[in-house]
Amino acid sequence: MAERIVVAMSGGVDSSVAAALLVEQGYEVIGVMLRLWAEIRPGLPSLNRCCSDEAVEDARRVADTLGIPFYLLNVERPFKTQVVDRFIAGYASGVTPNPCLYCNRYIRFDRLLNYALSVGAVALATGHYARVRLAPNGHGYQLLRGVDRAKDQSYVLHVVGQRELAHLRFPIGHLTKQEVRELARQWRLPVAEKAESQELCFIADGDYRRFMQTWAPEAVHPGPIVDRVGNVLGQHKGLPFYTIGQRSGLGIAAREPLYVLALDPERNAVVVGTRDELGNKELTAARVNWVAGSPPDREITVTARIRYKGSEVEAQVRPLPGNRAHVRFVQPLRDITPGQAVVFYEGEVCLGGGLIEPPDRPLPISLVE
């Protein structure tokens, strides 16, 4: 009897090819799409882009082509609580949250994985560009980058641990995007040429500023733009409209370009400065997850990435009590953004990562609990 694997299907080419590969390998494959929360706005789409009617139909057509069952799993309520509400809380507190991290931690690799195991599957498979292998010492699993460095998604997968990796499959992790497209064409999958979507999936029009004004108007109100010593240089439109390193949209006339250095929710102030003032060589990360299951017992040298598509820089990481870590880079980085993740690598292996804290205060409890 063939082993059963649940495949998280999105209606896109990556998850479709992942499902096709598993069918070809002889597994009993079940396709599942998550029904996620989306805001309802007059005149705007009322479905989450990750599970729109078009996406559902595309996934269903792929499932029919492959001869596998396909189901929708409704997780609208937990998605709103665990992902959307944290997104709102992050911007309201003056940080820039990454909702994909919360979706992976609380929805995809928690609720969906639990669902897969509950229906007798040995694993949950997704269309992520990443890989899993046994650790060289034979104890536990390692999370590896995808072979296609341009598509590697290990950054947003750093939240998984040993329990998850034991039941996860990434069937396309050893392929390039071009190879995935070619396989889709060979198998005549109806989504072979489908374009990718990069926008926030739960915001009706993709405009997060308008979204914050609608769902958290108390967090969007004008305040001062100040320099490091507190001189008022102008007026901002609301803290959620700004992020670290931002240059455009400040509306300030100055002798040299000014950049956002920090957001101060206590004063409702945007702190700006020159390019020379922007950047830091160190940060503290909260809610650090070590993929191996426990932190190293000493300071280690890694390469670290502070943005999903950012470059990597050599750094020293020192574990701290309370699932935190101090990170010191070999050179200053201009775009260290509280609320985003810093992720650690040793060669091809993703060691883990955590959420970047503001330098002067902890992250809100809602983002780290």
51 is catalytic: no
**Three-class HEC string of the chain:** CCCEEEEECCCCHHHHHHHHHHHHCCCEEEEEEEECCCCCCCCCCCCCHHHCHHHHHHHHHHHHHHCCCEEEEECHHHHHHHHHHHHHHHHHCCCCCCHHHHHHHHHHHHHHHHHHHHCCCCEEECCCCEEEEECCCCCCEEEEECCCCCCCCHHHHCCCCHHHHCCEECCCCCCCHHHHHHHHHHCCCCCCCCCCCCCCCCCCCCCHHHHHHHHCHHHCCCEEEECCCCCEEEEECCHHHCCCCCCCCCCCCCCCCCEEEEEECCCCEEEEECHHHCCEEEEEEEEEEECCCCCCCCCEEEEEECCCCCCCEEEEEEEECCCEEEEEEEEEECCCCECEEEEEEECCEEEEEEEECCCCCCCCHHHHC
* Catalytic residue of the set 50, 51, 100, 201: 201
100 is catalytic: no
* Catalytic residue of the set 50, 51, 103, 350: 103
Catalytic site positions: 103, 201
